[in-house]
Every structure is written in structure tokens, then in C-alpha cells.
Structure 1
């Protein structure tokens, strides 16, 4: 397969806004979604030296097991086609890139027939930059509020670490690693008793990390999550822009863990789906896209891990060069083909809706474009 070169348009604009982000370790009880932690465990059994910060250790905690646990395969089957609440909590500050989140958006997603909602989250501007890397309580409360909007409607919710470039650009920095670990320590504790239809996604598009670095990161994050909950579903993906070839290249973080879901992204070819400089729709175009899903399916069978493509979509126009406009009929056929292959190969899919060029939902008017029925028509 040709290596995906997507995400050179709108996403790079957003990544250029990335600031120095941070994370936290304190697992204080802040109104947990099922009520979880109480006292604050020590941050590390190995205090840092004056010369160099040491890697933090997992806190002492009582691991729980969710009584309503979904198997990974059942979850992917239930997820069907979902939608991203993009450019919201993943913006530097909510409201910077799109209208702030409102509960009626989630109600609209539910009524439209979407089965899950991915909530991308960028943590850095909301986390202390020094130990103990505590997440701002107001922001964590906001995350929980939006998560509960989704869970209360019996939809599956996904939360992640999204545009946190401070880690991706300086992975070997021990402080950065501790900040990242601290995010997942706090998030895992905060949502420890949340229902099983809340899924954690370790990291979004870890561009700049090598395969060995990402293998290490995925294993570490999974151990942090498992330290709190034995059977919470966890999504992992490959490095760079998380194209299918990147998933095929990395390790399963724990082949003995039955609660893992593999993930890839596809805006292929980016020249059509991202920057609108070429047409799409030939038999060869469709075969190339099908080949991506075939690779995902074959990896899933070989590794006994179900798969999701939690970002796919097509721009209406190139954000950086708005004179480049994608043909609407081709856009619709492109999305229809994605959905067809997702169902053919048993792969759940999450449409990228950013409230802008990639959107089908108009947040200001609470109305839908024609893409919605293509995405949800066979699961309404």
C-alpha cells in the first residue's frame, strides 16, 4: 500500500497551535463517574535526585473489575459507525477551533443514528508543567460532563490523549514521560468505576515516535490503566499518522489482554479527502481503499484483536487553500464506500466531524448535511 501522506492541511494548522503541554499524577477524588478514589497515593517510591527527575512508579491502588464489561469484539460490533466531537476539547482551549460543546450535539448524534462518540482531548494547557503534574480540576470536570452526556444516552464514548505535541516532539525527556503517565494515572482513577461503554485510547497519531518508543509507551500506558481497572477496553494504534501500515508495524502491547482494540486512520488518498486537488471514484480508487480494509481485517484475524478506524472523512474544501473544493457527489461516494467496507469487514468506523470543512453536523443550527444518512442509514 502507498504510505498515507494525509494530515498536511487542516491538521497541520492545528498542530502549529500546539503549546507546551503537561500532565498529572495525583488521583484525588473529584466527583468520579462512579465514585472512585479517595486518598492521594504517593507519587513515587523513588524520589527524584537533584540532578535528574526519575520515572514515577505506579501508585498503590485497589484494582477493580467492571461487572458490565464488554468484550472487545462485542464493543466493536456495537460501535458500528460513530462520530468525532472534533476541534472541541482537542483545541488549545475549548472554543478556539469550533463552537464549544453542548449537550444537544450529543442528542443530535444519538437521534441521527450514530452508535458511538469519540471525544478527542488535548490535555497540555490544563495540566501543571511540574511534578505532580496535576490536571486542572475544572477541565477534568468538563471532560467528565461531556463523557456523561454520551454515556447517559447509552452510546459508547472514547477519550484519548490527542494533540499533546510536547510528548511527541521530545519523547526522551523524563519529565514529559512522567507528565504523560500522570495523565493516564489521573484519568484511570477518575473514571475507574465508569461503565464499560467508556473506552480509553492511549494516544492519537504519535508522529515523531519510533516504533520501539511507541511500543514502550503503549505498554506503559496499558499498565497504568490496568493498575486501576482490569477490563476497561483500551484502543492502540501505530505511529506517525496512524495509517494501516503503522498498525501492522508495531507490537500488540499485551497479547494476553482480551480487552484491546486496534486502530488506524484513513483519509486516503489525502490529495482527494484532505486537500481536494484530485478526483475520486474510479474502480481503482475503490480497490485501493478496499485494500486498506483488507489489511486491517487480516491483521485483526492474525492477532485476534478487533479493529476500528476511528478517523475517516472527506473535506469539503482545503482549509489552507479554500479555492480547492471537493466534488460533493464524489465526497458522498467516498464516505459511502468507507461505510460499505467497514461493515463488510466488521470494522467500526468514526467519522471525523470538526465543525468545519470535514463536518456533516452544523452545530450552530443543529442541522445535518447529506453525509449523515450515508453514514447512519443502515443502522438507524
Structure 2
């Protein structure tokens, strides 16, 4: 998910790098941490997205301030940690910072900044997820990871080289760093998945797993996060073409009975409550007081069925799941009770995910006020929605 203030859904070396990672990338307390499926989900706790920052861009050039957010600081990450979050997902775009073929070298200054922001969280003992975020959106200038493009050979070569460089940069980081293959990859049409687009997404996932593993170091046993079509639960769990990648190059130190691959899904259902930018549907859940302000679908029973499907298809087979994004936009300008239902929604997503063995990461787009998803003011480094944070922590507690 990428968004500006009023747009939620869209507008959105190796050796030297490995030395850099080894010098600065050892976790202060747990350099050899190895977590199994149940442990990684429990340890990740409540997660938070640093949305609209390192994936932001202008005319194809990534910039953390391009979409109106301030420069990321250690103080912000410390505030997020102090609020109780244990995982931070950092969406990242590369776009025109990728050089020409055949090396596709990523701009060194950009990699340095990515690593610095990762370290803000990693050196505080938090779990950190890094991904390739905006490069697959047709609406983003400079996007190239397009699954229905004709030139798949070039796309796959570029994708492999970028992840090779990123993985080498972080090879010395322990299991608190999770790498995520891509974000909401699909053909841009919100309908049934198509071929060969889905097959190309599967191929990207396989390239990602193989490439990261082959860079060595802790990448041999690192948890890797992959996704199906648009991180959609139905299109990932159902018979629409998703194929789990093989993991033939993982480290022999990983017990044969364990996996090191996680499944990413996003949850914004019902969309008319969670994302639609009008004041019509402002309430959610069994505590709703006004039927005309509540969606006719997507309530607690639907949420339960969705996450149960993820459990049945993946978690039960040893592949933990991550709800990498969830949340609902602020419509309190239209209904003064809206934030109460936003909190109810967040609590329900977190508690239901916990029930079915999945971790959760709230989508914070950095904006507060109408249609915002912010939990913090990134300029003043203050909490703006303690009620939603309390609901997240309450849902996790049980």
C-alpha cells in the first residue's frame, strides 16, 4: 500500500557491501538468534509500517520527503518502540536509483541511507522488515517490476541484481532482519488473477529466495517473506495460481523440519470502511450503533474466515504468516465515533491473527486528520491515536 494524504491505494560491489554489513550489522544482544515459526511470530509482536517514506518518490527518484513527510530520525523510531511496537516494516523503492544493465548497480548513497534507517530500529532490538515496494506500481514513475510486461527477461535480471546487492549489504545482520520480496504485485486490475502475470510473480519469488540465500552469511537461514497476487488472501490461499518457492539453497544449519519462508497478506476489508475516502461507512463490527454507517460485509465473521484460510493453507504447514498491512482511514470528520470503530477494527485484526498464528503490522501512512492512518505525528514525534495503539496492544495481549 502506498498513499499520499488523500490516496490510500496508489501513488505508491557485493564484497564491499558484505564487509559493511559485517562491521555495523551485528545485533547488540542476539547475533546468533534462530527462531522457529511459532517463535518468530511471537517475538515480532505488534508491528508498525514506516509508510510513505523510503518508498516515496518524485519523477522516478526515491526520496523520503517526497510525499510530505519529514526526514526519518532515531527519535521517531524510539517513540514507536516506546509505544509498544516490536517490529517495524520499512517499505523501500529503488526505481531510477538502479543503474544500467548488466550490473544494475544501486545508488550507493541510497543503500547507505536504507541501512541507516534499518539501524535506527535494528540497533534498538526491534525486528525490521525491508522490501521492494513502489517498483511494481504502474502508477509510479519509474516502476519496472511489472508482471504483465513483455520483457520479463530484463525485469528478472534487474530484480535479481538489485536483491543481490541488498542481501549482500545486510548479510551480517541476524534474524531480527526479515526481507520481503515485493509489495502488492499484480496487473493493476482488481479482478481475478491472470496468466502469465501470476506465473511471473511466482518466478520473482523464486528468484528472490535463491538470490538472497546465495549471498551467504546469515542470509542462508534468514526468514524471507513472500506474497501472492496483490497480497490478497483469497488469491493466495485459493486455486488461482500461487506457487510456494522452493528453498534449496538455505543453510544446512536450519533443521530439515523447519521452514524459513513466511507468507505476506494485507487486510483492508471491508474497503468501504477501511479505505474508501468518503464519509458514508464510518462504523465497523458488532458494537456498531448505526446500521446505515456499517458495511454489509467484512465484519468479524469474514475476518475470522480469511485468517483461518491463511492458517489452514500455510501456517499449519510451517509457513508463518504476516499481515504486513492493515488499518482504516480516519473518517471522524463525518462521524465523531469513527475512531472507536477504527480501534475495534485494529484490535480484531490483531487478535484474530494471533489466534491463527500470524503477525500483524499496522499501516501508518504518516498523515493525521481526514483519511489519515497516522498513529504518530512524525514532525513533533508525538502519539496522535493512543486509543488505536491501545487496541493493537490489547488485541495482542489476548
Coarse TM-score class (shorter-chain normalised): 0.7 to 0.9
1:205 is displaced (CA, Å) by: 0.8
Q: Which residue of 2 is the match for residue 41 of structure 1?
A: none
Q: Which residue of 1 is the match for residue 306 of structure 2?
A: 292
C-alpha distance in structure 1 between counterparts of 2:265 and 2:82, whole Å: 27
Alignment of 1:1-380 (within 5 A): 10-15=7-12, 26-30=13-17, 32-35=20-23, 67-92=32-57, 93-97=63-67, 98-165=69-136, 166-168=144-146, 170=149, 172-208=151-187, 210-228=197-215, 229-239=219-229, 241-249=230-238, 250-254=242-246, 258-275=259-276, 276=278, 277-283=280-286, 285-317=299-331, 327-356=338-367, 357-368=372-383, 369=385, 370-377=387-394
The two structures have a TM-score, normalised by structure 2, of 0.77
Distance 1:326 1:365, change over 3 A: same
Distance 1:189 1:247, change over 3 A: same
Residues 110-163 of structure 1 deviation map (CA, whole Å, 9 limit, x = unaligned): 111101000000111321143311111111000111111111111100001101
Q: Which structure has the higher relative contact order (CA within 8 Å, separation 6+)?
A: 1
C-alpha distance in structure 2 between counterparts of 1:373 and 1:171, whole Å: 47
C-alpha distance in structure 1 between counterparts of 2:84 and 2:126, whole Å: 10
1:210 is displaced (CA, Å) by: 2.3
SS at match of 1:265: strand
C-alpha distance in structure 1 between counterparts of 2:52 and 2:7, whole Å: 11
1:347 is displaced (CA, Å) by: 1.2
The two structures have a TM-score, normalised by structure 1, of 0.80
1:349 is displaced (CA, Å) by: 0.1
1:180 is displaced (CA, Å) by: 1.1
SS at match of 1:365: coil
C-alpha distance in structure 2 between counterparts of 1:133 and 1:107, whole Å: 34
SS at match of 2:314: helix
- Consecutive unaligned residues in structure 2, runs of 5 or more: 25-30, 58-62, 137-143, 188-195, 251-258, 287-296
Residues 23-72 of structure 1 deviation map (CA, whole Å, 9 limit, x = unaligned): xxx42514622249xxxxxxxxxxxxxxxxxxxxxxxxxxxxx8433223
- Consecutive unaligned residues in structure 1, runs of 5 or more: 16-25, 37-65
Q: Aligned residue pairs: how many?
A: 333
C-alpha distance in structure 1 between counterparts of 2:310 and 2:48, whole Å: 20
Runs ≥4 in structure 1, deviation > 4 angstroms?
5-9, 322-326, 377-380
